[in-house]
Amino acid sequence: MWKTIRHLQVADAPDLTAPNMLVESYKRCRRFDVRVAQRRVEDGFGEGETRNFLQQNGRLVAYGRLVVEEYISDIKGTDDLFIFTNGEGRILGLWSRPEVVSAASDIGLRPGASLSEGSAGTNAVALALAMRGPTVLRGKEHLCRIFHDWVCAAAPIINTEGNLVGCLDISAAEGPIYEKLALARSIAREIGRLVGNKSGLSGSITLRQREVLALFAQGVSYKEIGKELGISIKTVEEHLDAIRTKMGTKSRRACIKKAIEIGAL
């Protein structure tokens, strides 16, 4: 019985990406002149451009960070790499063990980098966005050799109004792909639900407090928040404590989830 169940689980994923979709993607990559032997993803923003990109997508970054970190908090020591992008395939965030994130950065995968076909060849994120549906890619199905050791499951993020707003990809060297796909789809659905929340802004929270909270939700340090807004670290902490008091939460981190729920982020 268990062998049959496992066979069905493993077989659940292969047909998600139709062969003709791969062929069409390979053709597009040839037109884009993507090099199979390229050693890294070259289309990435500089430091200033990345900062602006993350600020412009602050709400989406905050939603993704909140949901992904909540899901992976119970996964200890995983080598899976969680990649969160906007609707154009440009990376908003990556999560895994520090060594894994560092290795990903070595091949150009970092916030601001593009996983479009023109930049990274045939890959799960690009296909999931093109198909508006879940996608699985294994090993040499990827065009570029740097991804030939990867198993990837990606799900598009679609908000409650039916708009494509991003993608969530889980990549690893090995492991049951159906589990990664199920998790990617769950995370994508949750982010889509939050993005579709049209609740009004909380009138009791000032504009400066929302600016501080938005940067805090993106994982920016107190020091960098102060530098960005021209205020001291102590003032940053005071703003966050004021928000915590207004929202009635027990911690500063809890303010992020509450702010999303009431539409203050």
pLDDT of residue 265 exceeding 60, the answer is yes
pLDDT band at 263; cut points 50, 70, 90: low
| Residue 174, C-beta contacts closer than 8 angstroms, at least 6 positions apart | 151
CATH no. for 207-262: 1.10.10.10
pLDDT tens profile 249-260: 878 888 887 777
pLDDT of residue 108 exceeding 70, the answer is yes
pLDDT tens profile 20-56: 889 999 999 999 999 999 999 988 888 889 988 998 8
Question: Taking Cα atoms as reference points, which of 31, 50, 45 lies closest to residue 122?
Answer: 31
pLDDT tens profile 91-107: 999 999 999 999 999 99
Supply the pTM of this predicted model. 0.73
Residue 35: count of CB within 10 angstroms of its CB: 13
**Computed over its alpha carbons, how large is the radius of gyration of the chain?**
19
Question: Taking Cα atoms as reference points, which of 155, 189, 195, 255 lies closest to residue 60?
Answer: 195
What are the residues facing 164 on neighbouring strands?
A: 158
pLDDT of residue 131 exceeding 70, the answer is yes
Domain boundaries, the chain: 2-195, 207-262
Q: Tell me whether strands 91-95 and 135-138 are parallel, antiparallel or unpaired.
A: unpaired
Work out the mean pLDDT of the chain and round it to a whole number. Answer: 84
pLDDT at 199: 46
Q: How confident is the model over 115-130, as a mean pLDDT?
A: 95
DSSP 218: T
**CATH homologous superfamily for 2-195?**
GAF domain (3.30.450.40)
